[in-house]
Amino acid sequence: MPRIEYAGRCHCGAIGCRYTTARSPADWSVHACQCRFCRSHDALSTSDPDGQLQIFVNDAVMLQRYRFALMTADFLLCRNCGVYTAAVIESDAGRFGLINTNVLSPAPERIAVVAPISYEDENASERMIRREQRWTPVTEVPWQ
Ligand SMILES: [Zn+2]
């Protein structure tokens, strides 16, 4: 499979992402995380450890990096339209992220079936290790 780039953005367009993966959307692993944050955004997450993720802003002042619970990831929210676009961790192994598939435009056809999932039993180090292994390497962020 050739690598394909999928573009995503918040509703107003201030926050954007580019997700590159060789996996066909039917083979994506798409999760409906059952934490309160993801449920309240109706977020569907996907990532590919062999893919690539870029985060960029068209309007930097609109970027809100929100942390909660174990405070291990930045959930990227738009201050203008409120949409949750992606999440990013920074660890010794680098930066890794996932996207909310609902922000992709155009929406991929025949996207994989969603699996509900709960990570509630993880501690902070287990959570970081899982994300380093499963999230997408991030090659660009709009902050230092
Ligand atoms: Zn927005």
CATH code for the domain in which residue 41 is found: 2.170.150.70
Which residues form the domain of 95?
A: 4-140
Read off the pTM: 0.92
The answer to whether residues 47 and 134 touch, using CB atoms and an 8 Å cutoff, is yes
The bridge status of strand 30-33 relative to strand 114-117 is: parallel
- Dihedral angle of Cα 68, 74, 76, 80, to the nearest 10 degrees: 60
In the chain, how many domains are there? 1
Cα 40 to Cα 64: distance, rounded to the nearest angstrom:
17
Cβ < 5 A residues, ion ligand 1: 10, 12, 14, 78, 80-81
83 CA to centre of ligand 1 in angstroms:
6
Cα 4 to Cα 141: distance, rounded to the nearest angstrom:
20
121 CA to centre of ligand 1 in angstroms:
32
Neighbours of 2 (CB within 10 A): 4
Cα 6 to Cα 54: distance, rounded to the nearest angstrom:
11
Query: Token pair of 9, please?
Result: 């953005």
17 CA to centre of ligand 1 in angstroms:
12
Q: Tens digit of pLDDT per residue, the chain (144 long)?
A: 789 999 999 999 999 999 999 999 999 999 999 999 999 999 999 999 999 999 999 999 999 999 998 888 999 999 999 999 999 999 999 999 999 999 999 999 888 888 899 999 999 999 999 999 999 999 999 997
54 CA to centre of ligand 1 in angstroms:
17
